[in-house]
Amino acid sequence: MQWFSKFTIRNQLAFLAASTLILLIFIFSVFYAQNKDIIKNKNNEYTVNILSQFQQDVASNSNGMHKILMNIAYNPDMQDYMLESEYDKRYENSKKISTLLNNARLMKDGIVDVIVVGNSGSFFSTYGGNEYVSRYQGLFGSTPFITGLKEINYGSNIPGNKFFIAGVSVYGIYDPVSIGKQIGYCYLVIDAQKMTSLSLPKLGKDEMKFYMLDRDHQIFSSNDPASVGGSSSFLQAAEALSGPSTLTLHGDRQIVQAEKLPEIGGTIISAIPENVLYTEIRDLRLKVFYLLLTAVFILLVPFTLIMNNLITPIRQMTNFILGIRTQQTVSLKQEIQLNGYFEMTILSSKLNRMFDEIESLTQDLIDADVQLYKAELDKKQAELAFLQSQINPHFLYNTFETIKGMASIKGVHEIKDIVQDLSRIFRYSIKGSEEVALQEELDMVSAYLRIQKARFKERFDIEIDINSQVMTCKVPKMILQPIVENAIIHGLEPLTTKGKLFIKADIDAQKRLVVVVKDNGVGMSEERLAAMNKKPEGNGKPDHHLGMNNVANRIKFIYGEPYGLSLHSEENQGTEVIFHLPFKEEAYV
């Protein structure tokens, strides 16, 4: 077979590659491709059937929501309620519509809240969600419309915070004056998980995943719970597809299929990795493996011939490379000489040139690294200069003083007083010391209370009773304001009657400083009070009393266990917060 050795390596490799390719094409075209298509078609039929079921179910639920909205919107009692401007008559009408709305909420599973809002100022909500939906009223017209996924926090009584809002503008049809005019809005707050009454197939390991997306491309239902509430460019790309298609996700090819949900402007998408779909053809792969073994034996003769013609120069080249790697017998400055075919001669020449270029590039890389470190240092210096040039607190303080002066010149004394108090609070907050005299803390709280009095007018009175002996006692800075703010916002503001805030400071029998902040506001339930007293430091979840928790944590951290904060409250009777602090006078070190 000497004649065969006279062919170039390229021709010999081309012969081997052509023989292998022809054989592989024959094998896979006969066995693998056909079975792969069969499995893919069966999967597509299964997926289309499931997607169609969910498409019809969402359409049915959406139409049901639309009918409920229209029945509420054009109920005679509801229209009377929306048009009524007198409070007493509106109150009487509310008794009628209360039953109507509560019955509507129970008509279909998933309706969390029913809300009506009239242009006359009337509103009614079965679960207190009117404050959330008002911001979206511009989305709704004369026909029912379902928004994308919205975040609404109803508290612990309704789990979850992801909902759809279905709404419609209401037009008068009974009152002669209002016929054809827009008189209000009607809304349904719908649990996102109940938009479909069917259950998605359970997700096993590497099985098909289903995603239901709203009109804003957010996932509102999936058999992959961790993905609910999120979105991804992969799913958005899948939405634009028609029919079964293939996309790549994290390096894995996924077979995806999408169907529109026109009633909610969304899409339902299925995705399954190709490698999972084709697990059923493992027996076929085994057969192909046996065929490949046969092909190897068939190709063994030409392969052996080619290897014999290549092995000697390649071994020389390998030894040379290993010598460079171990840095024992060969250096980059040495040259390799390969005896053999023309291609080997060219290869040795290219390798020698490459080694020269590597040495040159190594030096260039070192120089480039030095330049990069210099550039990074320059960047850090520029960022430091930028931070140093930022507005400092004294500029803001001087700005407050400027506003106060302008208000005084213009004769707007209310603005002058508020800005003066705000300036005092700001200057106090940037004060460097961590502990201040109780007198300074009370001065800052007084400034804060004057601002709140300007806001709430005569809605509550303030009574302050401070023992003169404790005025110089040292306390942590900004420790009273969060408690006073809680008392006003969570205790007094919800009151419909006039409230009262009481602040007292004295020394108890154990020579401790005792500060009491008390209000006669709405108070809190026994369950809420027990939870607050059990874990005043909080549990890591969002909380309306975060400021109180922070104060309690600061006292524990600074002074230790004997000191702290206690809370007493009774629903509709008010709340009392008591501080126990060490009595440390001005001379304390």
CB-CB contact of 189 with 130 (8 Å) = no
CB-CB contact of 463 with 577 (8 Å) = no
For 485-537, the three-class secondary structure string (H helix, E strand, C coil) is HHHHHHHHCCCCCCEEEEEEEEECCCCEEEEEEEECCCCCCHHHHHHHHHCCC
285 exposure class (CB count in 10 Å sphere: 0-12, 13-18, 19+)? middle
Q: Distance between CA atoms of 179 and 186, rounded to whole angstroms?
A: 17
Q: Which two tokens stand for residue 524?
A: 């809190």
Residue listed under structure tokens 């894995």: 252
CB-CB contact of 130 with 116 (8 Å) = no
Q: Which two tokens stand for residue 242?
A: 């028609």
Please give the pLDDT value at position 586: 62
The number of residues in the chain equals 589
8-state DSSP, 135: G
Residues 6+ apart with CB under 8 A from 410: none
Q: Is the C-alpha dihedral spanning 232, 237, 239, 244 positive or negative? A: negative
Strands 245-249 and 252-261: antiparallel
CB-CB contact of 61 with 108 (8 Å) = yes
Rounded to the nearest 10°, the torsion over CA 524, 526, 529, 530 is -170
Q: Which two tokens stand for residue 221?
A: 């239902």
pTM for the structure as a whole: 0.46
Please give the pLDDT value at position 384: 40
E-state strands within 23-137: 111-118, 123-125
Tens digits of pLDDT across the chain (589 residues): 667 666 666 666 667 667 776 877 777 677 777 777 788 788 888 888 988 998 899 999 899 999 999 999 999 988 888 888 887 887 888 888 888 888 888 888 888 889 999 888 888 888 877 778 878 888 888 899 999 888 888 777 677 778 899 999 999 998 888 898 999 999 999 988 888 877 777 766 557 888 889 988 898 888 888 888 888 888 888 888 877 888 888 788 888 999 999 988 899 998 888 877 777 777 777 777 787 778 777 877 776 776 666 666 666 666 766 666 565 555 555 666 666 556 667 777 777 777 777 777 777 788 777 777 765 665 555 444 433 344 345 445 556 666 766 667 766 667 777 877 787 787 777 766 778 899 999 998 998 898 888 888 888 999 999 999 999 999 988 889 889 989 998 888 898 889 999 999 999 888 899 999 999 999 988 888 888 777 544 444 445 556 677 888 888 888 887 888 989 999 989 999 999 999 887 654 4
Beta bridge partners of 245: 256
DSSP line for 282-311: HHHHHHHHHHHHHHHHHHHHHHHHHHHHHH
CB-CB contact of 185 with 141 (8 Å) = no
Rounded to the nearest 10°, the torsion over CA 232, 237, 243, 246 is -80
Q: Distance between CA atoms of 23 and 32, rounded to whole angstroms?
A: 13
Please give the pLDDT value at position 541: 47
